[in-house]
Each structure stands twice: as C-alpha cells, then as structure tokens.
Amino acid sequence: MRKITSSSHIETTLPIQGERGGGLHPLHLFRFCPKCGSPRFVEHNDKSKHCEACGFTYYINPSAATVALIVNDQGEWLCVRRAKEPAKGTLDLPGGFSDLYETSEEGVIREVKEETGLDVAAVEFLFSIPNQYVYSGFTVHTMDMFYRCRVNSCEGAHAADDASELLWLRPEAIRPEDFGLLSIRKGVGHLLRLFA
C-alpha cells in the first residue's frame, strides 16, 4: 500500500498497482462474457477481463458519486441518517450516485432534492476521494466528489429517499467516526479542517 496526498491535502491509502484488497479481482463475480455469454471470460489485467471466445474486453472503472456540504445561516451542517444499507442508521451527508447522462453537478443537485427536498442554487467542487461501496455482496468502486452547495432556502427540509432523518449539527458537535462510510468519514474530517 502507498499513501497519496492530493492537492487538497487529503491522505488516501491506495493499493499499489497490481495489489488487490482481499486478493480478489474486482470482476471475480463476473463469470460469463456480457457480450456473447461465453464462460471463457478470464482476467486480462488488474481492472479488466477478456473473453477468449469473442475478443471483448471489459474494464471496470469507478462509479461517480456525489456528496453535498450544506451550511445554514446559523453555521450548522446538514447531515442525514442513512435509511438503507450499507451503514444503515449511521450519519451521512446528502448525496449518492450520478445517473447515466447527467453531470456530477446535476447529480448532486438531484440527490439533495431527493433526500432533503431542498433546491440547490449553486455548487462548488471541493475534492474527491476513492471509495469501495459494498452493495448486495458486490464491491462497487466509486469516486466520491464533494461539493459545497448553496440552497435557496432551508425551509421545508424533510428526510426522504435514502435518508431517514435530517439533522442540523454545529461543526464542533460533528465526529467523523459517527459517519458510516469510510470515504464520508475521511471527507468530513477534511471538511472540518477546511471550514470549522
């Protein structure tokens, strides 16, 4: 393993080229070629598999995910309680996966609306953190992009979709260890250093 410090000074531990978390290929559950259905779908390199029957090579790349920092006029941060696994019941920041054909900025605006009912007026990209998100027994590699979001109004905020509860917390009351997802924990720690 090696540690990398980004230009935004977030230390991230990443596997060295060729090193895998848990020793399994990220596509180990994919036994058949998605193009022709052949079982001759073999490891090609650390991030792809190749079909020996039809020649198709499938590369796994991180899925885009977004995270929103929303601060009200009192300086409180909007946190949500996760309604679903993984990490159900722990704290999170609003956000989620980007949909096909939408920008990351459109994704964070949509996710904030879905989870909180709030309308985002402006977004500012802050930093990104790679993550592994286990869903239905499958490890999804993500690139979590953190944004500072300004909302039109905090009136009418309510928990919905993937959020079971909304909490407005003072930065001094926020503890990264209360956040269930590793990248969010790291991101919250960095946000506290930047803005608290």
Going by C-alpha positions, the residue among 58, 57, 77 that lies closest to residue 69 is 77
- Does pLDDT of 182 surpass 80? yes
Looking at 59, 80, 100, the residue that finishes a domain is: 59
Please tell me the distance from the alpha carbon of residue 66 to that of residue 107, in angstroms, as a whole number.
7
Indicate if 33 and 119 belong to the same structural domain.
no
pLDDT tens for each residue of 131-160 = 988 888 888 899 999 999 999 999 999 999
pLDDT tens for each residue of 22-64 = 557 778 889 999 999 999 999 999 899 999 999 999 999 999 9
* This prediction's pTM: 0.85
- Does pLDDT of 14 surpass 90? no
Indicate if 187 and 95 belong to the same structural domain.
yes
Indicate if 97 and 42 belong to the same structural domain.
no
Indicate if 50 and 73 belong to the same structural domain.
no
What is the CATH number for 107? 3.90.79.10
Indicate if 128 and 188 belong to the same structural domain.
yes
Q: How far apart are the first and last CA of the chain?
A: 31
Indicate if 40 and 103 belong to the same structural domain.
no
Token digits of residue 119: 């309308």
Indicate if 36 and 115 belong to the same structural domain.
no
Q: Which residues of 167-185 are buried (b: 16+ CB within 10 A; e: fewer)?
A: eeeeeeebeeeebbbebbb
The total number of structural domains that make up the chain: 2
Task: Give whole-number Cα distances, 33 to 42, 45, 52, in Å.
Answer: 9, 15, 9
Range of 155's domain? 63-195
Task: Give whole-number Cα distances, 2 to 9, 12, 77, in Å.
Answer: 15, 8, 32
Indicate if 76 and 97 belong to the same structural domain.
yes
Indicate if 86 and 159 belong to the same structural domain.
yes
Highest mean pLDDT among 19-23, 62-66, 82-86: 62-66
Going by C-alpha positions, the residue among 144, 196, 150, 179 that lies closest to residue 6 is 144
Query: For residue 79, what pLDDT is reported?
Result: 97
Looking at 37, 59, 81, the residue that finishes a domain is: 59
Query: For residue 7, what pLDDT is reported?
Result: 40
Query: For residue 1, what pLDDT is reported?
Result: 32
Token digits of residue 110: 């949509």
Report percent pLDDT > 90 for the chain. Answer: 77
Specify whether the backbone of 154 is left (phi greater than 0), alpha (psi in -120 to 50) or beta: alpha
Task: Identify whether the C-beta of residue 76 lies closer than 8 Å to the C-beta of residue 170.
Answer: yes
pLDDT tens for each residue of 89-115 = 999 999 999 999 999 999 999 999 999
Describe the strand order of the beta sheet including 120-135 as a list of residue ranges.
Answer: 95-97, 63-70, 138-151, 120-135
